[in-house]
Amino acid sequence: MAKETVANLDWNHLGFEYHDLPYSFNEEFKDGQWQGGTLTESSTLTLSEAAEVLHYGQEVFEGLKAYRTKDGHINLFRPEENAKRLANSAKRMLMEPYPEDKFVEAVKQVVLANEEFVPPYGTGGSLYIRPFLIGTQPIVGVAPADTYTFHIYATPVGAYINGLAPSPYTVSNYDRAAGAGTGQAKTSGNYASSLLPEIEAKKAGFADCLYLDPREHKYIDEFSGANFFGITKDGQFVTPKSDSILPSITKKSLLVLADDLGLNPVERKIEIDKELDDFAEAGAMGTAAVISPVGSLTYKGQKHVFYSEKEVGPVTTKLYNTLYGIQEGDLEDTHGWITRVK
């Protein structure tokens, strides 16, 4: 595959897809220690046919973005939180965690090496950064690997799902993750299990599906690739508390911003049969989506419309503008969340 060039890109119509950029980052773990990482022009990994990751699924990953500011600087949003979550995911999958301080520095290297691919300010685009960690040791029996590869690639992206436009969603009959399982780890198997229900939802005309808790199927969990939030009719920000959902950095940030905005935020169980009609607005939140408004949610054959199927609610709009404004540098970062790369 030929390397991507800036001349081939339409900044205003990027979509959300892979582009093979000039530089990635790679580091190997063997003999009980990390060997020292470096930028590489290779976007290909070579693995044994018996590599751990191919058979027993030792893989964890992250997703974060670099944003171009109005004055030409490049911002990262809370990369130390991604470093911490990757380490926690690795521990759950019995993998060697990548050092958190080295993680942030490696991300900076990849962004700077590919800085011409950070979309211009005002286009709505960003540079999506994908760090991942895989077990590479050839293994036949079920056991953790002794060797690992940590790799980072980046790709310019536009809006995920429909951007800041309401979309229809449905409640899935499948489980995304098991109770007491790997739901809190950002590992590939959780996403593989969501592919079938997500595709079925899209074929039925929905943007994605919402999962219920795997134990009782009565509480809201999360979407295939984003967390859920609702704004009650009395103006409270509510988001699910569950042991089987990913600890979202976007959710963690929005809980703080919602408090700043006087929304009395709370993280708790949300019983779908009793509380769905209590929400005046709803949304999906995550690094890829930022915030995607939920126009409607179909549950047990009944469509529940929140604020509107065509317009974004005022609270959702305020939350989006505040979060995105901080990320792009338009609003003051009063919480110390921004890491400036350049």
- Compute CA distances 110 → 23, 173, 236, whole Å: 7, 40, 39
Angle of CA points 61, 118, 71, to nearest 5°: 130
Tokens describing residue 89: 């995911």
- In angstroms, the CA 139 to CA 52 distance is 6
Claim: this prediction has a pTM higher than 0.85: yes
| Counts of helices then strands in the chain (DSSP H, E) | 7, 18
* Residue 289 confidence (pLDDT): 81
- In angstroms, the CA 211 to CA 189 distance is 16
For residue 1, pLDDT beyond 90? no
- Compute CA distances 247 → 88, 89, 108, 220, whole Å: 10, 10, 23, 15
- Compute CA distances 331 → 73, 252, 268, whole Å: 14, 18, 29
- Compute CA distances 233 → 169, 218, 292, 313, whole Å: 20, 21, 19, 12
Quote the distance between the C-alpha of residue 121 and its chain's center.
21
Q: Has 274 been annotated as catalytic?
A: no
For residue 160, pLDDT beyond 90? no
Residue 46 CB-half CA count within 13 A: 1
Question: Domains along the chain?
Answer: 6-157 (3.30.470.10), 167-327 (3.20.10.10)
Residue 125 CB-half CA count within 13 A: 20
Bridge-based pairing state of the strands 237-240 and 148-157: unpaired
Question: Three-state SS for 125?
Answer: coil
* Residue 30 confidence (pLDDT): 98
* Confidence band, pLDDT 50/70/90 cuts, at residue 201: very high
For residue 161, pLDDT beyond 90? no
The 10s digit of each residue's pLDDT in 326-337 is 999 999 999 999
Question: Three-state SS for 161?
Answer: coil
- Compute CA distances 95 → 108, 212, 224, whole Å: 24, 29, 24
The 10s digit of each residue's pLDDT in 94-137 is 999 999 999 999 999 999 999 999 999 999 999 999 999 999 99
Tokens describing residue 249: 């950095």
- In angstroms, the CA 105 to CA 258 distance is 30
For residue 159, pLDDT beyond 80? no
Cross-strand bridge partners of residue 29: 34, 148
Question: Three-state SS for 203?
Answer: helix
The 10s digit of each residue's pLDDT in 26-83 is 999 999 999 999 999 999 999 999 999 999 999 999 999 999 999 999 999 999 999 9
Catalytic residue among 186, 241, 269, 274: 186
Q: At a CB cut-off of 8 Å and minimum separation 6, what does 296 contact?
A: 166, 168, 169, 303, 304, 305, 306, 309
Which DSSP symbol is given to 3? P
* Confidence band, pLDDT 50/70/90 cuts, at residue 230: very high
- Compute CA distances 23 → 36, 43, 167, 342, whole Å: 17, 8, 35, 17
Work out the average pLDDT over 12-38: 97
